[in-house]
Structure 1
Amino acid sequence: MTTQRQQDQIGRRIKALRDARNLTQAELARKLGFSDRQTLAAIEAGERRVGPQELVSLAEALNVEVDLFLDPFQLIGEGAFSFRARGVEETVLAAFEEQARRWIATYRELGLQAGSEPRRLGHKLELYPWSSFEDAAASAEMLWKEWELGDVPADRLEEAIETRLGALVLYVDAAEGISGAASQLPGLHTILVNRRESQGRRSFDLAHELFHVLTWDAMPPRRVEPLEVKPVKGNRVEQMAESFAAVLLMPAPIVSDRWAARGGEDLPLWMSRTAAQLRVSIPALRWRLVNLGLMPKAEVQSMGSAPRPAGGGPQQMPLLFSRRFVERVSGAVEAGRLSMRRAGGLLGLSRTELADVCAAHGYPLSYELPG
């Protein structure tokens, strides 16, 4: 880590910890014995180097360990999160955010160590809080064409997000009630999806959080957003995100062509089969048909609860994390830049679990585990 980057990191973390304790710069400066707050202001801005003894004094004043200022495998004072969750206690959500911050910081730091520069988001949607739902839908159709997502957009979306945006997609194990999340960090946006959710929910979470990644500056999402968005009197930004996700996963030409080819096939059977093929839920497909004018709203409302899409048995969960993420971690372990114990701790895995995850993604570790 360069000296300037470390100074910036220390300053940012001091400010975050000071804010969390409701201390002003003047109050913390007095605790440290500085003659004025300008010295602390320069430290927080990354303009003044912190000496070893000053760092110890700062740790004592803020009641933290010195390592908290120096550890690059943490995100403190940077990165914003938005979660799709329901009925989750704040302590559970905070614990998940802390682990997510560790995953993201690990990916970023290992990339910097390997010489990979952070990539600025190269694509944003020209959408604003006053934009119409039609504008959001048109943006989704445009993205579907531009990214060449094909007949089943859900199958290509993850790769497109990673290659075209440089964003990180992670499939993770989250507590019940947490469906997905998005994180904004300069040079590295991240989408997290609970891999234990159904295929349809995972697809929608990925597309929904993509909307937030592409519109974060103009329409910052709330820290916690509901899983189900009210169609009337709901959060307008979330309604736009839902509209965007539905169109991106079920473009009008694809759905219309499949509807036209239905012939006399039984409607529930067609819906079940088509939803499974498009990797979406049956209710999502129903309402997409209504929005396209292919089915009356009253008919959808009269239908009972939807069965699971036809899929030939239990749905398979995605592998933990992602191939790109595991490639970076395993590469650092193999190169000796990161020990297996440290890597496992950062990812929340035992060494055996870490080895299994790496092997599952096609990156077996050469280290022998103790018997």
Structure 2
Amino acid sequence: MNAALIERVREVIGRAGQTQTAQAERLGMTPDKLSKSLSGVRRFTSLELALLADAASTTVDWLISGRQTREAANVAARRNGDGDSTQADARETLARYENLIDALARLGHCLPALPSLPSVKDPSPRAIDQGEELANEALTALSKSPRLMGNEELAAACEGTYGIQIAATKLPEGLDGVAWSPADFRLIVVASTAKWTRQRFTLAHELGHVLAGDAQDAVAEHLSPGQSQSIHEMRANSFAAAFLMPRDEVARDAHAGMDAWAIGKLAWKYKVSPSAMATRLKGLGLIDVDQRREALKITTRDAAQATGGLADHLKGAKAAEQGWPPDTLSRLAARAYLQGDMSVRPLASLWEVDPATLLDVLEPSEDAASESTTVEAGLVFTP
């Protein structure tokens, strides 16, 4: 067996501060098997290497080759008064998904080939127009309008169209989202939050970065719509606005002399905040500065209540706060587990549930199974 691999495994075990017996138990091995593997008599299985990598927060690729892959350079986490996000925060968020993607690939469970992205012209002062053009391409590629989909459904639609793994999870305070698109995968992570319209705009903004080719290096940020100065940020904001509030549709639904409540109701129809809709309408020349200023006083809750949609607003807030894992990555991890290639721990981590709880769902006890199949005499159907 590769002596360097064994040395790296010993390093991982040493860092854990546990005995070989404890490590063997954690990996589902006997101490004798671990001893033989460390002496070169027996080979580590793919599953054992995956478990070691997962426990050490590294990759199987590093254990085998010693190569650290895909360093996310130039992570520019924006800070604000509500938090103190750093490059390390963003890198840690990315590594959680990167490590699982690498481990699954080593086990033969690879993400599908990436579809091509729209072509983008050279960055210029026309960044706002570029964002609008990109949004029109994306809207044509999707199966239905974003305003007809909730946040998680919209994420799944974008994943299916562009091969982007999109997750919503708890992020460090002050960090709204992260986008990263190295050569072999595309990843967007947005913050789980009850402010579902903000989560939605973040998702669209990060999608704009990926489609524009801005995310070869990781892009981590706190969004301040309308306040970004760089060409890339202007383009991503323009994309998000045009993607969620298409020019032709909004122009058709808007009317002269709209007051703040009319703008709020229109915002609710498009599943965006009243402030986002007012900014879009002002940018399209459909309302003036005073109308926009008045609309900024209306909240999403106000708009929901005015349209009889308060229950839907609460459902949206709950779903956005719970978050979700990337759909394709979840399917790959589940398949790896069911085929015996990976333990339940990475799958549970991805879904942010306790491994024991997930095992109860995936492998119910005999008592639970028998209880579910017990029927009363003569009963034909059990609801």
Per the TM superposition, whether the score is higher than 0.5 is yes
2:248 is matched with 253
Report the residue type matching 2:276 in the other structure. A
Cα displacement (A) at 1:121: 4.2
User: Contact between 1:344 and 1:354, CA under 8 Å: does it hold in 2?
Assistant: yes
Match of 1:321 in 2: 325
Aligned ranges 1:55-74 → 2 under 5 Å: 56=7, 71-72=60-61
Alpha carbons of structure 1 residues 84 and 253: separation in structure 2 relative to 1, 3 Å = farther
Alignment of structure 1 residues 50-199 onto 2, 5 Å:
51-53=2-4, 56=7, 71-72=60-61, 76-78=68-70, 80=72, 85-87=78-80, 88-90=83-85, 94-95=88-89, 97-110=91-104, 113-116=107-110, 118-130=112-124, 132=126, 133-150=128-145, 152=147, 155=150, 157-199=154-196
- Within 1, Cα distance between the matches of 2:208 and 2:68? 25
8 Å Cα contact 1:229-1:235 kept in structure 2:
no
Counterparts of 1:177 and 1:214, CA distance in 2: 24
Tell me, what secondary structure is at the counterpart of 1:287? helix
Q: Deviations over 1:110-152 (max 9, x none)?
A: 2563554552341133133215112221221232123343272
Equivalenced residue count is 307
1:206 to 200, 203, 208: 203
CA distance in 2, matches of 1:134, 1:317: 33
**Structure 1 length-normalised TM:** 0.68
Question: Relative to 1, partners in 2 of residues 1:77 and 1:64: Cα closer, same or farther, differing over 3 Å?
Answer: farther
1:368–1:177 Cα change, 3 Å:
farther
Query: Contact 2:79/2:85 (CA < 8 Å) preserved in 1?
Result: no
For 1:11, the equivalent position in structure 2 comes to none
Question: Which piece of structure 1 moves more, 290-299 or 112-121?
Answer: 112-121
CA RMSD in angstroms comes to 3.8
- Tell me: CA distance 1:296–1:249, structure 2 relative to 1, closer, same or farther (3 Å): same
Contact in 2 for aligned 1:287/1:300 (Cα 8 Å): yes
Identity among equivalent pairs (%) = 21
**Contact 2:197 / 2:272 at 8 angstroms: preserved in 1?**
yes
**Structure 2 gap ranges (5+):** 17-51, 367-383
Q: Which of 316, 335, 339 is the aligned partner of 1:335? A: 339
1:90 to partner: Cα distance: 4.8
* Paired residues of 1:141 and 1:247 also in contact (CA < 8 A): yes
2:233 counterpart of 1:238: yes
Deviation of 1:255 after TM superposition, in Å, equals: 0.8
1:302 CA displacement:
5.0
Q: Structure 2 vs 1, CA of residues 273 and 112 (structure 1 numbering), >3 Å: closer, same or farther? A: farther
Structure 2 distance, partners of 1:305, 1:84, is 29
Counterpart amino acid of 1:296?
A: D
Alpha-carbon shift at residue 55 of structure 1 (Å) = 6.7
Determine which of 279, 283, 287 is the counterpart of 1:291.
283
Distance 2:9 2:355 in 1: 34
Q: Decide whether the 8 Å contact of 2:348 with 2:355 is kept in 1.
A: yes
- The one-letter amino acid of 1:282's match is P
User: Using a 3 Å threshold, how does the CA distance of structure 1 residues 191 and 222 change in structure 2: closer, same or farther?
Assistant: closer
In the other structure, the counterpart of 1:305 is 297
SS in 2 for 1:89: coil
Please say which of residues 107-116 and 188-197 is displaced more in the overlay: 107-116
Q: Distance in 1 between matches of 2:8 and 2:157?
A: 47
1:193 match: secondary structure: strand
CA distance in 2, matches of 1:253, 1:148: 18
Report SS of the residue matched to 2:188: strand
Cα distance in 1 between the residues matched to 2:5 and 2:329: 36
| Deviation (angstroms), 1:171 | 1.4
Cα gap change, 1:238 to 1:331, in 2 (>3 Å): same
| Aligned-pair CA distance for 1:286 | 0.3
Equivalent position SS for 2:167: strand
* 1:291 CA displacement: 1.5
Distance 1:90 1:303 in 2: 31
Counterpart contact for 2:134–2:211, Cα < 8 Å = no
Unaligned runs of 5+ in 1: 1-49, 357-363
Residue in 1 that maps onto 2:221: 225
Distance 2:282 2:143 in 1: 25
Note the C-alpha offset of 1:365. 1.2
Which secondary structure state, in structure 2, belongs to the residue aligned with residue 182 of structure 1? strand
Of 253, 261, 264, 1:269 maps to 261
